[in-house]
Amino acid sequence: MLAYGRVGTILSSVSEVLDCLGGAPARALRHLYLEELECMLAGFTHRFATGFEVARILKAYSRLQAAEGGIGSYLRSLEGSLLERLDILVGRIYDLAAIPPVHLLAVPSRGSACKRHMLMLRWMVRCDRVDPGGWQFLGRENLLVPLDTHMLRAAKLMGLSPRPSACLRTAREITDGFAELRPDDPVRYDFAITRFGIRPELSMDGLLADIARRCKRAPACPASDVTGG
């Protein structure tokens, strides 16, 4: 929910929420009354997110876990495409939270790129030295890139999408571009490319210009040639 803005701010905000819940957050959420959780997070803010919204959504996820066994179990039980399943999941969470949709959980059917959903899915579906994996029922080939400002800028430099906005259509176009290189795992490039917009000691312009030139020369080149491994 909180993975937007500067990395340092995200880490600080997530730590603040987890510190309130102690060493076993899932257990704490099961046993806390909603009113208690709202009180604990009353002074919390993360940019334009409020403690009230965070408390309501966290408690809703806890109720979903109790009823369905967790997010993964619930998604596995649903039918339809990945985005259709996510739409049902988000709707269920807002029903359990008893609040209207807010920016913390994007609604896929409204055209959002759903960056934070896709980031979570990248973590949970892929399995390598970056992503821990665990959800084998969705398939890496079904994922979309977690589209943020860093990936959008990179995609423009590489000619993957001319669109100025980070919407769902743009995310699909960028993912399709990466799928030409790795149709079985188009999202594998996300972590490496976005580091060059996040880490201050790295420069995106030179690297991505070189990637763009190499991709134009050899669009079917191995993934290791494009990403440096």
Tell me the pLDDT tens digit for each residue of 36-59. Answer: 999 999 999 999 899 999 999 999
The last residue of a domain, from among 78, 110, 142: 110
C-alpha 162/C-alpha 26 separation (Å) is: 42
Neighbours of 19 (CB within 10 A): 10
Same domain, 93 and 125: no
Helices (H), the chain: 7-21, 25-31, 34-40, 51-68, 71-77, 82-97, 115-125, 149-158, 168-179, 190-198, 204-217, 223-227
Amino acid letter, residue 84: E
Same domain, 154 and 180: yes
C-alpha 158/C-alpha 174 separation (Å) is: 10
Percent of the chain with pLDDT over 70: 89
The last residue of a domain, from among 69, 87, 110: 110
Same domain, 86 and 121: no
Comparing C-alpha atoms, which of 164, 205, 160, 195 is closest to residue 178? 160
* Range 65-87 average pLDDT: 95
How far, CA to CA in Å, does 209 sit from each of 60, 97, 109, 184?
44, 45, 34, 25
How far, CA to CA in Å, does 17 sit from each of 23, 198, 200, 213?
11, 23, 27, 44
pLDDT digits (tens, 9 = 90+) for 135-190: 999 999 999 999 988 899 888 888 898 888 899 999 999 999 999 999 999 999 99
Same domain, 127 and 87: no
C-alpha 138/C-alpha 156 separation (Å) is: 28
Instruction: Give the CA diameter of the chain.
Output: 60
Same domain, 118 and 83: no
Per-residue pLDDT band for 223 (boundaries 50, 70, 90) equals very low
Same domain, 84 and 121: no
Same domain, 53 and 83: yes
C-alpha 116/C-alpha 78 separation (Å) is: 20
Q: Which domain holds residue 216?
A: 111-229
The answer to whether residue 218 scores a pLDDT higher than 70 is no
Same domain, 157 and 65: no
Amino acid letter, residue 150: H
Beta bridge partners of 160: none
Total count of domains within the chain: 2
DSSP summary character for residue 112 = B
Same domain, 150 and 214: yes
Query: Lowest mean pLDDT: which of 33-37, 134-138, 223-227?
Result: 223-227
Residue with token string 């029922």: 137
pLDDT digits (tens, 9 = 90+) for 80-106: 999 999 999 999 999 999 999 999 999
DSSP summary character for residue 187 = G
C-alpha 106/C-alpha 20 separation (Å) is: 25
Same domain, 161 and 172: yes
The last residue of a domain, from among 72, 89, 110: 110
Q: 211: number of CA atoms within 13 Å, CB side?
A: 24
Mean pLDDT of the chain: 89
Same domain, 105 and 123: no
Same domain, 41 and 132: no
